[in-house]
Amino acid sequence: MKTNDGQLYVIAGASRSGKTAWTRKRIAKAKRIWAWDPEAQWCELPGWRKVSTRAELLACAQKPGAQKVAFVAGGQLKEDFDFWAGAVMYAGRYVEPLDAVAEELADVTTPSKAPGNWGILVRRGLKRGISLYCISQRWSEADKTAFGNASDFVIFRQSSGDDVTYLARKTRVEQGEINGLVPLQYVHMNALNGEILRGKLRF
């Protein structure tokens, strides 16, 4: 059965700029969603289940239907992230499409080609109906594959001029516009047609 393609959001911004809050609002109505949750933020939200072992994650991957699963890994972040990405791909491809949030990508990837299961998920997951929310404070230190497959760029305030320059070059959003952002203010660019929306989070 054919599924609708997923979307890949590249979400960039300094600490406390609004990245995770924007993502929470965006996926508020999602019924089937997983999160890579190294800071144990998502697992504290109402309705979310905290998972901390690979066995628990595999059990979740085999179940269809509504679920909100936050994987809070132990000490081997890169290895556990690779396992999480593989489980997302399995659950989304063979069981039922889902959305997935990946926090702090610079901690588990590098500026080169996306590694292992994460690379497979980024390159092939969208065709399986998996939507990805890829979050990082510094995209110059995170994988480039997500940028190449992005359907949307969501940019919040940056902490350095280098980050502003990098994002302007990679996304084609004007450097001056990125540099002028204040906390909770963002630019949302559709990477497919170049349309730009501007907004500010309100609580």
Output the pLDDT for position 167: 95
The SS3 call for residue 90 is helix
**Strand partners for 10:** 134, 153
Rounded Cα–Cα distance for residues 63 and 55 (Å): 13
CATH number of the CATH domain containing 113: 3.40.50.300
Among 131, 188, 198, 195, smallest CA distance to 154 is for 188
In a domain, 1, yes or no: no
Domain that holds residue 140: 8-200
Among 96, 102, 61, 64, smallest CA distance to 82 is for 102
Split into its structural domains, the chain has a count of 1
- C-alpha 5, offset from chain centre: 16
pLDDT digits (tens, 9 = 90+) for 90-116: 999 999 999 999 999 999 998 877 779
Helix H or strand E segment including 100: strand 99-102
In a domain, 40, yes or no: yes
Rounded Cα–Cα distance for residues 122 and 130 (Å): 9
pTM for the whole structure:
0.95
pLDDT digits (tens, 9 = 90+) for 6-40: 999 999 999 999 999 999 999 999 999 999 999 99
Computed on alpha carbons and rounded to an integer, the radius of gyration of the chain in Å comes to 16
In a domain, 38, yes or no: yes
In a domain, 3, yes or no: no
